[in-house]
Amino acid sequence: MNKITYCTLDTETVGGACGSNDIYNLSGIIHDREGNYLATFNFLVAEHYTRINSAIYGKKNLHRYAEMISKGEITIIPTEAEAIAIVDSLLDFYNVKYVMAFNTGYDYTRTACSALLEGREFIDIQLMAMQIFGGRKTYSDFCHEHNFRSGGKGTKCASSAESYYAYITKNPDFEEEHTAFADSAIEVEIFTSCVRTHKKYTKNCHWHDFGGKWTLVRGW
């Protein structure tokens, strides 16, 4: 393959950001710079799925996982370690240069996906979107008009995958599904929308929460 390949990945974990970080749903899309899919994976991790009721979004999406299983749209993998190993092999096969996520500071540092960084570079799609869209007046206007807010007093524009995807698709009613494959798909769209602007963005950096203060960190 002559083109640079990317993998946009998402995880759903038991307990969420404050929990054990055990992955019950691991999914991703291997694609090119234009967003053309080369391969996809959607794994349900059996060893952690039994604890899905302790996951905020997991228990809300039980019906979605049941439907995916019945339709053969998700593959059940016995253990997290096996799921990571399969993904690592896929990344090697497709010669993936950049592993990505909307929040690499979580998906690639707080979970077992950290193993996928070895020998590869990364792009934080959230940081990319913040650098390219975050400072636009049109984004600020969109967030204030449609109540995409963040911060303690709700005075700042949101910087979520949901808010950026709603903005680029001009769909203020969009709601993130919070299943790993669906979320990966919208993150690919955010990435390609950023790329089409031909604006510069920072690679191999992510946001990290140091005791409530978000700081830009190079590398890991």
Per-block mean pLDDT, blocks of 10 residues, the chain (220 long): 88 73 96 97 94 84 95 97 98 97 91 94 94 95 93 75 97 96 98 97 78 60
Strand blocks (E) in the chain: 5-13, 23-31, 37-45, 75-77, 96-101, 121-124, 149-150, 156-157, 205-210, 213-218
Q: What pLDDT, on a 0 to 100 scale, did the predictor assign at position 109?
A: 85
Distance (Å) of CA 176 to CA 74, 94, 103, 161, 183: 19, 28, 15, 8, 7
Count CA atoms closer than 13 A to 117's CA, side-chain side: 20
Q: What pLDDT, on a 0 to 100 scale, did the predictor assign at position 191?
A: 98
Q: What pLDDT, on a 0 to 100 scale, did the predictor assign at position 55?
A: 80
DSSP H/E element including 127 = helix 125-132
- Structure tokens belonging to residue 200: 């510069």
